[in-house]
Structure 1
Amino acid sequence: MTTTRTEGACLPSYRTPSTLALSEPEDHVRELTDWVEHASVVAGAPGAQEGWDSAYKWLRLAQGLRKITFDMSYDDGGMCSAGGDFDVVWTEMMEEWQLHQVRLGYLRAALEGFVQVLHPHAAQPGLAIEVAEQQLQHHAEALPLHARAVAEHLGTHFPDRVGGSEPVATGVAQVIAQHERAVHGRACIPEPTSDADMKILAAGHAEVCAGREACTMLLLGVQLLMAAAVKEDRVAVFDDKYLLDGKWVPDSSGGGRWVDEEMPYSEYLAVLHLAPGEPPEL
């Protein structure tokens, strides 16, 4: 199930360019799950591989999530047609909003599992991501494109700054704080609205966007965590990635190259979140 682009929807600019666009969470998580499947922890505390496998399974659940089904109808035998229309629209809204919320819960479990394996003494996942970002400051090729832009966009949805001096670490901390609000029943549940002609209109566009970008933020957090671990030889990756659809791979100088065959999984980690497409016209 893909995110519906309804009127009034929030669409960040990094999801729309003809090349180097950021993939939707359902595609992004599939590629990250594939990467983790071809990797293994090689340095860690006793039981690290079991922890890795458990975190991978949570990531696999997020990858397997396709749709959420709701039926918000409340038929008391005397509902007017407008009430029925309201429930139909609300049902569609809840299916889209909750799809991201459920995926977010799985991704948080996966992220926290990988943090426990790679940074067992980190008090918060955001702190582990902050360490990873700082380690990669001099390795621009390992930093996922759009990561800062996603963090900045999330700041428009979650204005309260929460922890972390690095953008992805801050974004991850904000996402976890907002997820805690939902877990404890403090999140606002969006409802449809009516215009002057009493036509029922979908709402909750900001909430849907926040959920979608929150999922992306946690996925990017896992990528940074893995990138730093690979640099430290704490995680090993095997084989090569075959790029069935091809991918435009950026480089640190602002250019890039079109790859339509194979590339090492270690290099693929930095670009797996980018949508495939036609190569740019040269």
Structure 2
Amino acid sequence: MTTTSTEGPCQPPYRTLSMLALADPEDHVRELTDWMEHASARTEAHGAQNDWDNAYRWLRLAQGLRTITFDMSYDDGGMCSAGIDFDGVWTEMMEGWQLHQVRLGYLRAALEGFVRLLHPDAADPGQVIEAAEQQLQHHAEVWPLHAREVAEHLGGHSPDRVASGKASVAAGVVQAIDLHENAVQGRAGIPEPATDADARIFAAGHAEVCAAKEACSVLLLGIQLLMAAATNENRVAVFDDKYLLDGKWVPDSSGGSRWVDEEMLYSEYLAVLHLEPGEPPEL
């Protein structure tokens, strides 16, 4: 039986950089959850704090998600070894795919909760993220690195999507929500392992796994843009400083990178929290 890895050949370049790489969703959401814990909405509206706390708890659920366990075996007492191999590979495939699908649902709930709180009259989250993008387009210091590239890559997973100029995070958010909605309503196809001429079993579904993973990242980046715009408008307050215990690389003004291993304002950390720390510079 071949390897059951579900990563496959779909590996966006922004995840393989030696520094300033985009963190995987499980690390990304942990840092964003930490940021949210040190922030609060500036509003006197009745129930606003409860709404903030509820949206935060959905994000906390996404942060707490570690594994999904499946057992796709169908033992009727007479299965051949190929059938057992098929079910074993399918089990691992489903664990990887559904891990991202479940996280995607939690992140959608968090995003929509924060949108309802900060923009109660908005028609949909995509509209709000688009407005945030327009507001922040000339503020490079608060713009999350790779945000548009993630949306562009996610767009490549949709055969029905027509390229229309530069990819936007708002379009990626809409696509991520549609992807989740398709699964909820049973319209998403469930991938199965593949076999070759020698009846060897291979993991498949690489595109589906990648799409669900990148959809998670684009929702996280959408929340960052939403919070950056709200902070810029003084509608969200951020407290304390972020202490970078082990340090990390962050973009600098010249387009390169610099190593930070001290405190930084949480308002500044919002733009870089999604990046892998990287290896410290050699002394």
TM-score (norm 2): 0.94
Partner AA of 2:64 in structure 1: G
Partner AA of 2:147 in structure 1: A
> 1:222 Cα shift?
0.2
Q: Do structure 1's residue 218 and structure 2's residue 231 form an aligned pair? A: no
Residue correspondence of structure 1 range 65-214 to structure 2 within 5 A: 65-161=65-161, 167-214=168-215
Separation in 1 of the partners of 2:106 and 2:133?
23
Gapped regions of structure 2 (runs ≥ 5): none
Separation in 2 of the partners of 1:255 and 1:195?
46
Query: In 2, are the aligned partners of 1:44 and 1:118 still within 8 Å (CA)?
Result: no
Partner AA of 1:217 in structure 2: V
Per-residue CA shift, 1:3-43, capped at 9, x if unaligned? x9657331000001111000000000000000000001113
- Which one is further off, 27-36 or 246-255? 246-255
Show the counterpart of 1:42.
42
> 1:116 Cα shift?
0.4
Aligned Cα root-mean-square deviation (Å)? 1.9
With over 3 angstroms needed to count, the CA separation of the structure-2 counterparts of 1:197 and 1:143, relative to structure 1, is: same
Separation in 2 of the partners of 1:117 and 1:178?
24
With over 3 angstroms needed to count, the CA separation of the structure-2 counterparts of 1:216 and 1:81, relative to structure 1, is: same
Partner AA of 1:158 in structure 2: S
Query: In 2, are the aligned partners of 1:100 and 1:211 still within 8 Å (CA)?
Result: yes
With over 3 angstroms needed to count, the CA separation of the structure-2 counterparts of 1:111 and 1:123, relative to structure 1, is: same
Per-residue CA shift, 1:160-218, capped at 9, x if unaligned? 3499x960000000111121111100001000011111011100111110011000000
The alignment covers a number of residue pairs equal to: 279
Separation in 1 of the partners of 2:173 and 2:119?
15
Show the counterpart of 2:256.
255
Query: In 2, are the aligned partners of 1:129 and 1:221 still within 8 Å (CA)?
Result: yes
Per-residue CA shift, 1:90-113, capped at 9, x if unaligned? 000000000000000000000000
> 1:157 Cα shift?
0.5
Residue correspondence of structure 1 range 44-59 to structure 2 within 5 A: 45-59=45-59
Query: In 2, are the aligned partners of 1:144 and 1:271 still within 8 Å (CA)?
Result: yes
Show the counterpart of 1:30.
30
Partner AA of 2:99 in structure 1: L
Query: In 2, are the aligned partners of 1:245 and 1:277 still within 8 Å (CA)?
Result: no
Q: Do structure 1's residue 18 and structure 2's residue 18 form an aligned pair? A: yes
Separation in 2 of the partners of 1:7 and 1:175?
19
Query: In 2, are the aligned partners of 1:144 and 1:270 still within 8 Å (CA)?
Result: yes
> 1:159 Cα shift?
3.7
With over 3 angstroms needed to count, the CA separation of the structure-2 counterparts of 1:12 and 1:280, relative to structure 1, is: farther
Aligned to 1:45, what secondary structure does the other structure show?
A: coil
Gapped regions of structure 1 (runs ≥ 5): none
Query: In 2, are the aligned partners of 1:133 and 1:166 still within 8 Å (CA)?
Result: no
Query: In 1, are the aligned partners of 2:149 and 2:167 still within 8 Å (CA)?
Result: no
Paired-residue identity, %: 78
With over 3 angstroms needed to count, the CA separation of the structure-2 counterparts of 1:7 and 1:59, relative to structure 1, is: closer
Aligned to 2:156, what secondary structure does the other structure show?
A: helix
Aligned to 1:157, what secondary structure does the other structure show?
A: coil
